Amino acid sequence: MQSYVQIENAGMVFSTKKGRFTALTDINLHVDQGEFIALIGHSGCGKSTLLNLVAGLLDATDGVLLLANKEIKGPGPERGVVFQNHSLLPWLTAFENVYLAVEKVFGSSESKAQLKARTKAALELVGLTHAANKLPGEISGGMKQRVGIARALAMEPKVLLLDEPFGALDALTRAHLQDELMKIVAATKSTVIMVTHDVDEAVLLSDRIVMMTNGPSATIGDVLTVDLPRPRDRLQLAHDPKYHDLRSQVLEFLYSRQMRPKEAA
Amino acid sequence: MSAVNATPENLSEILSGEDIAPTSKAPAAAIPARRTPYFETESGKRFIEGTLNLFKNAIPPLLGMLLFVAMWALVSNSGKTIPGPAETWDAAVVLFSDPFYDNGPNDQGIGWNILNSLYRVGIGFSLAAAVGIPLGFMIGRFDFLNRMLSPVISILRPVSPLAWLPIGLLILQKAEPASIWVIFISSIWPMVLNTAAGVQRIPQDYMNVARVLNLSEFKVFTKILFPAVLPYVLTGVRLAIGVAWLVIVAAEMLTGGVGIGFWVWDEWNNLNVAHIIIAIFDVGIVGLLLEQALMLIAKRFSYE
């Protein structure tokens, strides 16, 4: 079977004032439809850069990226992005923020009532029906992030791209949203690529964990398959030796194999 | 009858507590006595707190104004050349009792003078906004244009507004459009520069949203650029109207006609100093009102 997202020998070189900076080299990754991939690595390893390449916000300077056998050229609504800092437009209500995306994707083929129904459904999916008419400034950080997720999901994207979506949230809110995300992904069978720096989050949510080496010239160090059965429950996993084994494998990669980037390079 | 209306004749009567019987208020006063006293109820306490707060907030500005008037009185008393507060007040009462008389082009009411000045500011300022705000958007959006125009703007911006008057007179031939031209050229810069700064400072996140959603240029403008830049535009507008109102007085002194600046000069020629002081207060108060009105609008559109 052909992979859904294909990244072939992708590399990214930034031209900065101090000269050329190689962020990524030789990235090869195939993602199947319905798969949940976590990208993990130390900060500055280029995991967000890789996500932005798939999103089309950056153009790869080397190699090629394909989505459903089509080359990725620029951003598009078939790839829903949830940004690290929610990126809601502060002058639009939660409903209007989601509606803006819905209108763009389905506006040409559907009536206004249908568009509104889609927006409502997306907000309901993340449990925010009651806050639909609130401005982003009036709701909590966790709720803002959920509106961001609703906006991305409402576009019915082929791939959902999450850039440390829960990084700025407190631990309890984060756990709650992780559980919700698992349910939503199970229901919508979305293909997901998620950047994270949280080992537990990566093991809990993903089917495969892509571990990146330290930058500059970062690349994929190792890929770990998480073959824990779904649906997963965080309380049961806490006593699961397999979970702890996977977790320690990721920790081992991050803290012994990639601990000192300067010496390794 | 109450203590407020006390006169020497009935004061002793009030103090002796015999002020009860003949008035119709007596039964009304008897009822609250059976209830909780008003100042111990919730609304009563709120009323007291509100009054106290009002005093706390009102005392510093009132004290400032009082000091100002006192110093003014002191200066006018010692020199005798400048009319004091009382004298000026009397002159103002006379002046404002008939603000809209019209005895020909050189003798019109203070209201007409202020309205004429506001009209010139309005025209010059609107033209400046119509040119300056779109120009600011373009400078902010296109780096090439920014680098192309920034040396020109840097040279023209610090020029004193009145230095533009001869150019205006030369090209436009008449005093009226020339003074409008001065308002235009002096109030355009804050709007251009603030709008451009606003566009340049739009968070990258918002533009990423636009790119991910593939929004049309029209949607980008109406849903992202315009609301994001609006607070900056309003700051520019606020600064610009301040400058315009500053400049009109000086411009009218030179060009003549009907207007508050010309009026000041006319009263100087008449050696009516009280009227000049009144004009100074007028200009200050109108400027304050213009700025406050724009502050209110700006507050309505701020989302932070």
B205 in contact with A at a CB cutoff of 8 Å? yes
Contact A45, A218 (CB under 8 A): yes
A81 in contact with B at a CB cutoff of 8 Å? yes
Per the CB < 8 Å rule, is B223 touching A100? Answer: yes
Through-space distance between the first and last CA atoms of chain A, rounded to whole angstroms: 37
Contact A88, A147 (CB under 8 A): yes
ipTM of the complex: 0.80
Name the CATH code of domain B110-300 (choices 1.10.490.10, 1.10.3720.10, 1.10.4190.10, 1.10.10.10): 1.10.3720.10
Over residues A181-238, the pLDDT tens digits come to: 898 888 888 899 999 989 999 999 999 999 998 878 888 888 999 988 888 888 888 8
Q: What are phi and psi of B279, to 5 degrees?
A: -60, -40
Min Cα distance A150 → chain B (Å) is 14
* Interface subset of A 121-140, CB within 8 angstroms of B: 135, 137
Using a CB-CB cut-off of 8 Å, the residues of chain A touching B304 are 90, 137
Burial of B31 (0-12, 13-18, 19+ CB in 10 A): exposed
> Where do we find the tokens 């995300």?
A181
Using a CB-CB cut-off of 8 Å, the residues of chain A touching B209 are 83, 87, 89
Query: For chain A, how big is the Rg over CA atoms in Å?
Result: 19
What gap in Å lies between CA A204 and CA A202, rounded to an integer? Answer: 6
> Where do we find the tokens 């349910």?
A183
Helix B260-269 vs helix B110-141: angle between axes, to the nearest 10 degrees?
140
According to the model, what pLDDT value does residue B185 have? 94
Distance of CA A18 to the CA centre of its chain: 30
Within 8 A by CB and 6+ apart from B3, the residues are B14
B211 in contact with A at a CB cutoff of 8 Å? yes
Domain range list for chain B = 24-82, 110-300
Higher-confidence position of A251 and B40: A251
Q: Beta strands A159-163 and A62-67: pairing type?
A: unpaired
Per the CB < 8 Å rule, is A55 touching B212? Answer: yes
The A36-40 sheet, strands edge to edge? A79-82, A159-163, A191-196, A36-40, A208-212, A220-225
Residue A174 has pLDDT above 90, yes or no: no
What gap in Å lies between CA A159 and CA A156, rounded to an integer? Answer: 9
Nearest CA in chain B to A90: B303
Per the CB < 8 Å rule, is B212 touching A91? Answer: no
Intervals of chain B under pLDDT 70: 1-35, 303-304
Query: What is the SS3 assignment for A160?
Result: strand
> Testing the interface with A: which of B212, B219, B230 to mutate, by most A Cβ within 10 A?
B212
Torsion, Cα of A237, A242, A243, A245 (10° steps):
150
What gap in Å lies between CA B247 and CA B234, rounded to an integer? Answer: 20
Within 8 A by CB and 6+ apart from A23, the residues are A12, A13, A14, A46, A49, A215, A216, A217, A218
Over residues A75-132, the pLDDT tens digits come to: 888 898 998 888 899 999 999 999 999 998 898 889 999 999 999 998 988 888 999 9
- Print burial letters for A164-181: b (CB count within 10 Å at least 16), e (below 16): bbbeebeeebbbbbbbeb
Contact B205, A87 (CB under 8 A): yes
According to the model, what pLDDT value does residue A92 have? 92
Its sign, for the CA torsion B34, B38, B39, B44, is positive
A15: β partners: A20
Helix B204-213 vs helix A94-106: angle between axes, to the nearest 10 degrees?
40
B214 in contact with A at a CB cutoff of 8 Å? yes
The DSSP 8-state label assigned to residue B107 in this structure reads: S
Q: Return the structure tokens found at B61.
A: 């500005």
According to the model, what pLDDT value does residue A188 have? 83
Neighbours of B7 (CB within 10 A): 8
Per the CB < 8 Å rule, is B219 touching A100? Answer: yes
Query: What is the SS3 assignment for A91?
Result: coil
Please confirm whether the linkage preceding A165 is cis (ω < 30° from 0): no
Over residues A50-77, the pLDDT tens digits come to: 999 999 999 989 888 989 888 888 888 8
> Where do we find the tokens 């798939």?
A54
Min Cα distance A13 → chain B (Å) is 20
What gap in Å lies between CA A22 and CA A258, rounded to an integer? Answer: 18
Instruction: Please name the member of A83, A92, A104 whose beta carbon is closest to the beta carbon of B213.
Output: A104
* Interface subset of A 152-171, CB within 8 angstroms of B: 155
A253 in contact with B at a CB cutoff of 8 Å? no
According to the model, what pLDDT value does residue B33 have? 54
What gap in Å lies between CA B75 and CA B77, rounded to an integer? Answer: 5
> Testing the interface with B: which of A49, A89, A139 to mutate, by most B Cβ within 10 A?
A89
Per the CB < 8 Å rule, is B205 touching A101? Answer: no
Q: Return the structure tokens found at B273.
A: 């100093």
Whole-prediction pTM: 0.72
Nearest CA in chain A to B229: A91
A231 in contact with B at a CB cutoff of 8 Å? no
Amino acid found at A172? L
> Testing the interface with B: which of A78, A93, A100 to mutate, by most B Cβ within 10 A?
A100
Over residues A1-32, the pLDDT tens digits come to: 467 898 998 899 988 888 888 888 889 999 99
Per the CB < 8 Å rule, is B209 touching A104? Answer: no
Instruction: Please name the member of B212, B224, B228 whose beta carbon is closest to the beta carbon of A75.
Output: B212
According to the model, what pLDDT value does residue A1 have? 47
What gap in Å lies between CA A231 and CA A227, rounded to an integer? Answer: 12
Query: Considering only CA atoms, which of A40, A5, A66, A99 is closest in space to residue A255?
Result: A40
Within 8 A by CB and 6+ apart from B143, the residues are none
> Testing the interface with A: which of B204, B213, B215 to mutate, by most A Cβ within 10 A?
B213
The DSSP 8-state label assigned to residue A15 in this structure reads: E
Residue A265 has pLDDT above 50, yes or no: no
Amino acid found at B127? L
Query: For chain B, how big is the Rg over CA atoms in Å?
Result: 28
